[in-house]
Amino acid sequence: MDREIPGKIRPPEVRDDVAELVDTQHRGHELVSLLPGAKQWLLDEIEDPRTNRIDRSAPCQISRNRGEDVAAVKSLADRVQEKAVVRDVIGLARENTGKHPIIGRYKDMAARRYGERPASRADARIDNNEVHGSFGKVPVGAFNGERRFNDVVRADVVRNIDQMCFRRNAENHSFHDSDKGIGKAKVCGERYNHRMRRVYLDSNATTPMRPEVLAAMMPVFTEHYGNASSIHWFGQLAKSLIDDARKHVAQLINAETSEIVFVSGGTEADNFAIRGVVSLKGGAPSGHIITSSIEHHAVMHTCKDLEKQGVSVTWLPVSRDGLVDPDDVRKALRPDTVLITIMHANNEIGTVQPIDEIGKIAAEADVYFHSDGVQSTGKIPVDVKKLGVDLYSISAHKIHGPKGIGALFIRKGSTLKPMLTGGGHERNRRSGTENVAGIVGFGEAARLARQGLATEMRRVGDLRDHFERELKSRIELIHVNAENAPRLPNTSNVMVDYAEGEGLVISLDLKGVAVSTGSACSSGSLEPSHVLTAIGKTPDEAHGSLRFSLSSMTTDEDIDYVIGVLPGIVERLRELSPYYKKV
């Protein structure tokens, strides 16, 4: 039987019957279709015990009874005869052929090319007619020809969550529906249409991990798993990986490697900086802190907690554009002031504070100066030496790195009381066995962010400006919060009159667009955003605001799609408002 082989697909090196098809830019799985006769060949392969190499991940409970297996895959094949996307665990050919005869390129994607890439060791594998690995995936699913990179969010790394997935039960080797799994989170079903285009514009909440980052991390899980405190070869190799990652993180903010302390994320970094300073004298926390009214909750709630313990806190106001006046910082200084903590860039409206000016004021007063740089790092140039900060918080998952890892810059000569005691890791500043895989991923993400800072962020800024211009020209009574202030190039906070923000978020989500109304850390709160009320917005105005946050992975087509769907959504929601009257 003649079968076309699309491009040149490299046979997998890790296992002989699993293949993964991604484009050359690692932008996700290619769209493919079954060629004539492929369906019957697929079924023949299953029914032949000598070549029984089809994955058991089918949309039903599957036992080890071979008859049920065949029926399950027959049912699956019936649904994908026209269009399909290759996932991770399709048996592609007999072992002795080395070819992949059941896959053909989908005609609408003819301009794209297949890349050569061995299958990942992390994927599920098929051996002796059983599926092994932490979870199984449905290998084939039906899609239309418009699916793109943002649709699958790096599908070669993060599997498409809107597909029917079947996780493997480690105890009984059976599969169960994902909405019965961890947290009972329903990630698929009636609400989500897997044919829908998906656009992710919530990058200030988190970003998808780059495939290069995952590739750097994987060997740490499987090969370089030593404890970095051990003196043997495995431990010293892990230590060298940490040292290399520390160098890349330091270079991203122009710091010395010895000034970078790895922690679990931005929240711990903020807590470490603030509590570490006010506790220096021992005993109960004491002194005076100066901060702003628009800080992230990691700073705000920490300062409020310290207030309850007797620390005095001055909450500085901001302008209607969300900017702190450096003169207000100077006026707030007191003899007992021990710390100034002002965020570099706001996570909701994107305003960039005059940190360098505030740094000079702190230096003159000989007061520690901390800045939360979680949102600014990787989006605008950061030079901690020019900024004049003593402490600077950063996080990996905001720059396409892994979650659960961050860092605190501690200027040489600065002293903090450690929050954690133990083995004296990180130069006795943060005890606890190092998260080597996370640190390696952080280092790679920092390296990539530094490389793309000049070009990618300029492109993202142009996209953001185009987005705002188009919305203002197509939707009446719409305003950009903090429009006249220096802002992050990726952030646009838009206030839509006579439309409720949660309704806009849900309506956009149903169109495949992910945005937010503010900080992801307070998304469950019914209270209006403290940032928007601080810049003078009423509760109703604050509730009617949306945050669109782009990333280096956002494309022109993504923005054009949102521009096309948002006006209709606003119009429908305004029709429900008793206060809206068309001009």
Residues of the chain with CATH 3.40.640.10: 211-448
Residue 25 confidence (pLDDT) above 60: no
Tell me the residue ranges of DSSP E strands in 187-257: 199-200
Residue 333, C-beta contacts closer than 8 angstroms, at least 6 positions apart: 290, 361, 365, 367
pLDDT, residue 470, reads 97
Q: What is the pLDDT of residues 151-175, one digit of tens each?
A: 332 333 333 333 323 232 333 333 3
Active site residues: 521
Q: pLDDT digit string (tens) for 455-496?
A: 999 999 999 999 999 999 999 999 999 999 999 999 999 999
Half-sphere exposure of 129 (CA within 13 A, CB side): 15
More confident residue, 276 or 37: 276
What is the residue-averaged pLDDT of the chain? 75
Give the model confidence (pLDDT) of 487-540 as tens digits: 999 999 999 999 988 999 999 999 999 999 865 555 555 688 999 999 999 998
Average pLDDT over residues 552-564: 96
Cβ burial 551-563 (10 Å sphere, 16+ → b, else e): bbbbbeebbebbb
The percentage of residues in the chain with a pLDDT greater than 90, rounded to a whole number, is 58
When pLDDT is cut at 50, 70 and 90, the band that residue 553 belongs to is very high
Residues 27 and 390: their CA atoms lie apart, in Å, by 39
Domain with CATH 3.90.1150.10 in the chain: 453-575
- Strands 31-34 and 103-105, how do they pair? antiparallel
57 falls in which pLDDT band (50, 70, 90)? very low
In CATH terms, the fold of domain 211-448 is Aspartate Aminotransferase; domain 2 (3.40.640)
Which strand (E) or helix (H) includes residue 274?
helix 266-278
Reduced DSSP (H G I as helix, E B as strand, rest coil) percent helix, strand, coil of the chain, to 5: 35, 15, 50
Residue range 453-575, CATH number: 3.90.1150.10
Tell me the average pLDDT across 65-85. Answer: 43
Q: What is the predicted pLDDT for the residue at 395?
A: 98
Q: What is the mean pLDDT of residues 35-43?
A: 47
